[in-house]
Amino acid sequence: MGHNRTACLCICNLIVANLPLFAVEQRAESIPFKLYGNHLLVVQGTLGKLKKRNLLLDTGANPSVVDQQLASQLGLQSLTSQPGTMNVVSGRIDTHYASLSGLQLGPLSRESLPVVVADLGFLRSQIGTRIDAVVGLDFLGQSSFRIDYENKRIIFGLIDASASAVPFDTGPPLVTVQMLVDNKPVRVLVDTGTDGLILFRNHLGGWEARLSSSSMKISDLGGGTSLPMIVATDTRVGNVEMGPRNVYVADGHGCCDFDGLLESLLHE
């Protein structure tokens, strides 16, 4: 499948991701979601034999992550004798990989999905509800989908691209787009799990001198950290002008070939 498809980032609180498909495109079908912290999308689905599990949708996750307590309940076994590592904004963490017997979300389903097992308890303390798994594009990439923030529904199936569509550079399990930040071109990962625009320090060059004393606290699998801030006077993605905005700076740890993370919910 070609990777030069279209992602659509719309000021009217919609995101369309026309992704390379693993299966024949189905007719449009929608499911509801709950929105936490103005950017975290939580839906209900089936993990293995367990129904009505809380799933956090994160287009920046690869692979998907299952909470260690639920993994024990399902009897998931490690796929390797040695732990692996996973990169998160706050650093690298030790993980182990397992095979999930099944995952179903609306019209989408997969069997024997490789997943990371990790403690997702920090999400409960952060948003006030239990999260059983973080579902990434390794699963969601089976279908095109649109996130309707206004009506809090995800529509899977054939999607019409809008006038503000922009090309993305890669397909599942990651989707990146080109944007301009104060006329500096950067390539960012479209990440529904990110609140704001985060750029990696080792990709910024001379911007280091622009760091301010303001910061944003984040929590992830690696724990908590504070990210310093740069104020950008002009930002845009394709023909969508995002205007002035705060840009938060993370170390990056030399792990990625893209320059940062961009939330999918764009505000006027």
DSSP sequence for 176-227: EEEEEETTEEEEEEE-TT-SSEEEEGGG-GGGGGG--S-EEEEEETTEEEEE
Question: Tokens 């639920």 sit at which residue?
Answer: 70
Looking at the predicted structure, is the pLDDT value of residue 95 above 70?
Answer: yes
Burial class (CB in 10 A: 0-12, 13-18, 19+), 205: exposed
pLDDT of residue 164: 55
Tell if the pTM clears 0.85, that is, is over it. no
Q: Domains, the chain, ranges and CATH?
A: 6-156 (2.40.70.10), 166-262 (2.40.70.10)
**The pair of three-digit structure tokens given for residue 201, joined into one six-digit string:** 């320090």
Picking from 131-145, 172-186, 195-209, 252-266, which range would have the lowest pLDDT averaged per residue?
252-266
**Integer Cα distance of 92 and 88 in angstroms:** 6
**Angle at CA 212, nearest 5°, toward 208 and 213?**
130
Cα-to-chain-centroid distance, residue 10:
17
| Residue 172 per-residue DSSP state | T
pLDDT of residue 44: 97
Looking at the predicted structure, is the pLDDT value of residue 31 above 90?
Answer: yes
pLDDT of residue 157: 82
**Integer Cα distance of 216 and 210 in angstroms:** 16
Q: Which of 1-5, 59-63, 214-218 has the highest mean pLDDT?
A: 59-63
Residue 131 pLDDT grade (very low, low, confident, very high; cuts 50, 70, 90) = very high
> What is the arithmetic mean of pLDDT over 104-115?
93
> What is the arithmetic mean of pLDDT over 133-146?
88
- Higher-scoring residue by pLDDT: 163, 218: 218
Residue 38 pLDDT grade (very low, low, confident, very high; cuts 50, 70, 90) = confident
**Integer Cα distance of 206 and 170 in angstroms:** 27
Looking at the predicted structure, is the pLDDT value of residue 195 above 90?
Answer: no
Looking at the predicted structure, is the pLDDT value of residue 7 above 60?
Answer: no
Say if CB 250 and CB 215 are below 8 A apart.
no
pLDDT in tens, 59-92: 888 889 999 999 999 999 887 766 666 666 655 6
Say if CB 112 and CB 103 are below 8 A apart.
no
**Integer Cα distance of 212 and 228 in angstroms:** 7
